[in-house]
Amino acid sequence: MSLWRHRDFLVLWSGRTLSEVGDAVSLLAVPLLAVTVLDASAVEVGVLTATRMLAYLLISLPAGVWVDRIRKRRLMVACHLLRAALVATVAAGAWSGWVTMAHLWAVTLFSGVCTVLYETAHHSFLPAVVGPDRLLDANGKLATTYSVSQIAGYGAGGALVAALGVARTVGVDAVAYLLNAASLLLVRHREELPARPARRHFYAELTAGLSYVFRHPVLPRLVAASATLNFFSQMIFALAVLFLVRDLRLSEESVGVVLALTTLGGITGGLVSGRLARRVGTARIVWAAPLGLGWTALLVPLAQPGWGPAAYTAGMAGLGAFFAIYNAASISYRQRVCPPRLLGRMTASVRWVVFGVMPFGALGGGLLGDWLGVRPTLWIAAAGVWASGLWLYFSPLRRARDLADGVAERELIPSGGRHG
């Protein structure tokens, strides 16, 4: 049965889509608020992006233990309700004129805590809803609709900022979170409370996920590649609005249009990710995606006023396609090989590393942008994005075509062979 006929997946997908539209509106409006209303510097913008990601470093590991102990859906609903309240304070503060950079930093930090808990739970909840055989398809569809949501969010955000101003625009995100919380209550899948062991050892449970990841023959290289990619891509994202407004001299509405167009690559990548992985090979695609598409990030620092938005859009669209293809393959693999009882802790352990480097990337982008200039910093970041694929090229994945399908299996299928 197609996932488009799978009721619970459709409910989960539609709610997440609404939330991501609101996220995109907020990711455009909040930095614009900082740059255009509060006259934020490159360092302050870098700190703003860093605080959004700092929660991954602080609570990812304990989040995995908590998620494996409780019902995932209830936690996801609570996270959305809290995020709605936090974003609403920014809208109210911007509208009344008392918002400050410290306020924005605090809200993004606590919103990040909710995001960590929600996403860890979501990655553990999805396999139970769709089953292991549909994970690649489900993750590909989610990657595609994430990009569609960003187009809608950035496009609508740019139009709303031009029509209503940034103050009222930020409030759209709060509504989206409320709608997503409501949609999760419609999922029919009956989630059993995880079995409670006779004795619980928090530290042992916490380190079990890390131990599994770093003793696995493939996952350490995957983690290193993802961490490198996230570090350097955050340097680009942290400076994006600043670069478009001050270097390319675009209006607020034009910034929204450019950011919306850049997500076309993610849509394309999400649509073809499953088919491309099957044709190229599920092992090969993991290293071929960064090395084959990562170079497009070099188009970003090439952009100049006038024709520059086209180069910027093409470079970021290529990067979006790479993200969608790589993430669908790597996340699906992690979900399939990990035993269900460890899914939350495995996910949290991986995300603790690969997302934990992101605040340092964002902060480093802001500091280097202030010291070297925005454009030289973007050259460094673009080169780092492409080089992330080398971790996987010089690994056992290069000698394999496909990754093993079985949950209990850890070996790679040699090129040209099949698992018996």
Q: Which of 25-29, 273-277, 314-318 has the highest mean pLDDT?
A: 314-318
The tens digit of pLDDT for each residue in 368-382 reads 988 888 899 999 999
Which DSSP letter does residue 297 get? G
Q: What is the pLDDT of residue 195?
A: 61
Average pLDDT over residues 155-166: 71
Angle at 391 between CA 386 and CA 392, to 5 degrees: 100
Q: What is the pLDDT of residue 385?
A: 92
CA atoms of 234 and 240, how far apart (whole Å): 10
| Structural contact between residues 324 and 332, judged by C-beta atoms closer than 8 angstroms | no
CA atoms of 175 and 351, how far apart (whole Å): 27
Residue 275 CB partners (closer than 8 Å, separation 6+): none
The tens digit of pLDDT for each residue in 67-85 reads 877 888 889 999 999 989 9
Torsion of CA 66, 71, 74, 79, to 10 degrees: 30
For the chain, domains (ranges, CATH) are 3-186+206-414 (1.20.1250.20)
| H helix runs in 131-165, sequence order | 135-164
Q: Are strands 412-414 and 400-403 parallel, antiparallel or unpaired?
A: antiparallel
Torsion of CA 163, 164, 166, 168, to 10 degrees: -150
Kindly write down the DSSP assignment for every residue of 74-95, as one continuous string.
Answer: HHHHHHHHHHHHHHHHHHHHHH
| Structural contact between residues 122 and 180, judged by C-beta atoms closer than 8 angstroms | no
Burial 255-287, CB ≥16 within 10 A → b, else e: bbbbbbbbbbbbbbbbbbbbebbeebbbbbbbb
**Lookup: tokens for 332:** 């699906």
| H helix runs in 244-340, sequence order | 252-262, 264-280, 284-293, 299-302, 308-337
The tens digit of pLDDT for each residue in 320-339 reads 888 888 888 788 777 777 78
Which DSSP letter does residue 395 get? S
Q: What is the pLDDT of residue 420?
A: 31
Residue 301 has pLDDT above 50, yes or no: yes
The model's pTM is 0.65
The tens digit of pLDDT for each residue in 342-360 reads 887 888 888 888 888 888 8
CA atoms of 57 and 321, how far apart (whole Å): 26
Residue 208 CB partners (closer than 8 Å, separation 6+): 342, 345
% pLDDT > 70, the chain: 91
Closest CA to 33 of 164, 160, 161, 174: 161
The tens digit of pLDDT for each residue in 176-190 reads 788 888 888 888 887
Amino acid at 2: S
